[in-house]
Amino acid sequence: SQKIEQNSEALNIQEGKTATLTCNYTNYSPAYLQWYRQDPGRGPVFLLLIRENEKEKRKERLKVTFDTTLKQSLFHITASQPADSATYLCALGANSGYALNFGKGTSLLVTP
Partner 1 sequence: EPEVTQTPSHQVTQMGQEVILRCVPISNHLYFYWYRQILGQKVEFLVSFYNNEISEKSEIFDDQFSVERPDGSNFTLKIRSTKLEDSAMYFCASSVLGLAGHSEQFFGPGTRLTVL
> Which chain residues interact with partner 1 by CB under 8 A?
31-32, 34, 36, 38, 41-46, 49, 51, 89, 91, 93, 95-105
If the CB atoms of residues 1 and 14 are measured against partner 1, the closer one turns out to be 1
- Tell the smallest beta-carbon distance from residue 40 to partner 1 (Å): 11
- Tell the smallest beta-carbon distance from residue 58 to partner 1 (Å): 16
If the CB atoms of residues 15 and 54 are measured against partner 1, the closer one turns out to be 54
- Tell the smallest beta-carbon distance from residue 33 to partner 1 (Å): 10
Buried b (16+ CB within 10 A) or exposed e, 56-85: ebeeeebbbbbeeeebbbbbbbeebeeebb
- Cα gap 13→95, rounded to integer Å: 36
- Cα gap 99→105, rounded to integer Å: 17
